[in-house]
Structure formats: structure tokens, C-alpha cells
Amino acid sequence: MAEQKIILTEEGLKKLEERHEYLVSVKRREVAERLKEAIALGDLSENSEYDDAKNEQSAVETEILDLMAKIRNAEIIKKDDSKKNVVHMGDTVIIKDMDFGDEMEYTLVGSTEADPTEMKISNESPVGAAILGQKVGKTVEVSAPAGLLKYKIVKIKQ
């Protein structure tokens, strides 16, 4: 089975690589030390410190493998400067809520990198999918639980 490509910005790939490096070079050693200390306590059958350390070790190793797969399958978003007035992956876009007049600024990224707290939305999200490939000035409709939402693409920041 072919592994799925992971769409990332260069910044997103760097964050994954930094997290992987931290887990491999720092966290793995910390967990190994915890295991060593827990084993020194004796009877492993009723040793909660040992169980906790083994569980943490499993979680760290799982995350390391997950990050390795994402890094290996990363597809970096390349800027397409030939169509500057069209929304592409990696663009920062200002959209206006047509019902309330509020303007919001989002960066369109792949699902791995999406983080609403940083105003990074996925191309797979309803808003992301609606604005991808659209031109400045276009009004798009997004179906949401609250009803049909309308957003106008105001500006694409380069």
C-alpha cells in the first residue's frame, strides 16, 4: 500500500523535524532513565512507576514512528506566483463574513499542519475547500451546522 503524501509548508516540515529530533535525542533518554529508576524499585508486578514509564515509552516510540512517516511522505507546498490573484495552498487569505462584516485572516495549509489557534486552516476544511482555487473578489458559500455561510475573498497576502 502506497503511503499518502502529507502536504506541508516548509515551516511545517521544520516543526515536524524539530519535534522528531527532540523525541529521539531528549525524550527517549528521559523515558529510559525513568524505566531504569522504576526497575531499581524492585517487584515489577506491582510497580506503577514502571507501568507508567513503559506506557510513556510506548507513546514516545509511536509518535517517533508517526513523525518519521510524515517527514518521509512530506510534499512541500510550492508557491505559484503565476496566478497571484488565485488562492493556493500556503497562501494567507483575508476573507470577509458577508453576514456580519467581520474580516478574518487564514493561512491555507494541509491537514497535518492545520491549527485554528494559529489561524491555519486545512484545505480539507469547509472554508479551506471553498476558497482554494478561487479569485480575489469571489464570494463563496460554506455549508455549516448553523446554515449557509458566505465569505468574500478580500485579499491574498504574498
pLDDT tens figures, 103-119: 999 999 999 999 999 99
- According to CATH, the topology of domain 6-76 is Helix Hairpins (1.10.287)
Size (the chain), residues? 158
- Cα angle, residue 6 at apex, residues 22 and 95 outer, rounded to 5°: 105
Q: Which residue has the cell 458559500?
A: 141
- According to CATH, the topology of domain 92-157 is Chitinase A; domain 3 (3.10.50)
pLDDT tens figures, 17-46: 999 999 999 999 999 999 998 888 777 777
Query: Cβ contacts of residue 116 below 8 Å, gap of 6+?
Result: none
The domain locations on the chain are 6-76, 92-157
Backbone angles phi, psi at 103, to 5 degrees: -105, 140
Q: What is the pTM of this model?
A: 0.76
